[in-house]
Each structure stands twice: as C-alpha cells, then as structure tokens.
Amino acid sequence: MAGKNTKKRVYLVDDHPIVRQGLIKLIEQEAGLEVCGESGSVAEALDALKKLSPDVILVDISLEDSNGLELIKIVDDLGLQIPMLVLSMHDESLYAEHALRAGASGYVMKQAASNTLIQAIEKVLDGEIYVSKEMSSQMLKMAFRGSGDDTRTGTETLSLRELEVFELIGRGNSTREIAEQLHLSVKTIETYRAHIKDKLQLRSGTELMQRAIHWVETESHRISE
C-alpha cells in the first residue's frame, strides 16, 4: 500500500484515443508510474487538472481544440508548477525550442523508442530538462553562435499555428491539403498564409513557398551539422 502511494501520477493529453491507450499500457508497466487521467483537448485537460494532482503532464502539440503549447502556457500562467513533457510527431529540430520557450520541460518524438519516453518522464520528474542528445548538442551550438541566422530569427515571430502552416507549405502541401491536415477551413489557412507573409515581409506566395522550403531543409539538417 505504501508502494502504491509513492507512484508518480501522469496525466495524458492527446487527441488520438488509440495513442492514449498505448501510452497507458506503456506507462503502467513501470512500477513507479501510473496514469491518473487522460483527455483529447485543452478544455478537457484544464477541467480535469482542477480535480487531479498529476506529477507530470504528457501532451501532444496538435489537439482537438487548440495546441499543446497553449495548454503549457495556461498551466504555467496558473502557477500549477507541474512539469510538462511534449510527445509529438512534429520534428524535434523544428519544434523543441518553441516548446521549451513556452514552458515545457522536455520534448520527445513519437517515433522514439518506448524506453526513451520513460527516461524522459523520469528526467522531468527529477526537475531536469529532456531533449535528445542531438538536439541538446544543437542548442548548445546555437547558444554559442548567437542568433545571427535571419531565417531562424524571422520564424520566431510566428505563432505555433502559423509555424505549423509554414512547415506544411515547406513540405509541398497545397492550401487545401493543409486545411485538411489541420482540420481548418481553406479560408482560415489563407488568413494564416497572409499573416506569415506580413511577419516575414514576403511579397508573394512564391516567396513564401521558397522561404518555407528553405527553412524546412535548413532546420531538418541543422542537427547533423
């Protein structure tokens, strides 16, 4: 009974029920961990967090009603002091720094091995930051080099949703394809495209596409430099 009380409580936020079921099985195989709740949206998570006291929150970036970074910011603003670990399909090299700046304690890609996720959970529970070794090395490089890369600095002005749209443009998706992937209207995506062009001071859709392709290629290869 005493052993059960020492288990660390994990709360899951992911909009795919099958993914949550898999995570529950994985986490509860660990003697020192248990899942205390799950949800697929920011609204559900916030409601549950008022009643539960998790030791760590595992959150995806793309959610039903918003995105995981918004939840991270809200939890941080509420002063709940619960470490939050991002688990996402989004490329770590493109999103990890955004997640950490929002207040996350770590970032793990869903393609990572299951033992990597458990190690990440344990690390953030100990009050440390978790990113992959490659990403950690890259962040140290960037800290020493400074932020002299104009392309990189420009994207820092984008919101997370704008960054998602920008990435998908860079990966060759049309406006309609982006709308389908993000479950938004074509008109909404067009609005995001306009905002991105304004923020990055781009004059046309062609310039936007060229800049997005260059950014995706640069960021994707940055870790291996």
3-class DSSP state for residue 61? coil
* pLDDT for 116 beyond 90: yes
| pLDDT on residue 56 | 96
- The amino acid sitting at 81 is Q
Does residue 206 have a pLDDT over 60? yes
CATH class of the domain comprising 150-222: mainly alpha
Q: Do domains 2-138 and 150-222 have the same CATH topology?
A: no
Domain ranges of the chain: 2-138, 150-222
Give the CA distances from residue 163 to residues 19, 26, 170, in Å, rounded to whole numbers and listed in that order: 24, 31, 10
Please give the Cα distance from 118 to 176 (Å, whole number): 37
d(CA 164, CA 173): 12
pLDDT over 90 for what percent of the chain?
44
Residue range 8-30: mean pLDDT, rounded? 95
What tens digit of pLDDT does each residue of 130-188 get? 998 888 877 766 655 554 444 444 787 888 788 889 989 998 899 999 998 888 899 99
Distances (CA, A) of 64 to 48, 148, 189: 16, 36, 17
Give 142 or 41, the one with higher predicted confidence: 41
Q: Are strands 84-88 and 56-59 parallel, antiparallel or unpaired?
A: parallel
Structure tokens at 109: 């890609």
Q: Which of 97, 50, 93, 34 is nearest to 69 (CA)?
A: 97
CATH class label, 2-138: alpha beta
Q: Please say if the pLDDT value at position 223 is more than 50.
A: no
Q: Determine the average pLDDT of the residues in 51-63.
A: 91
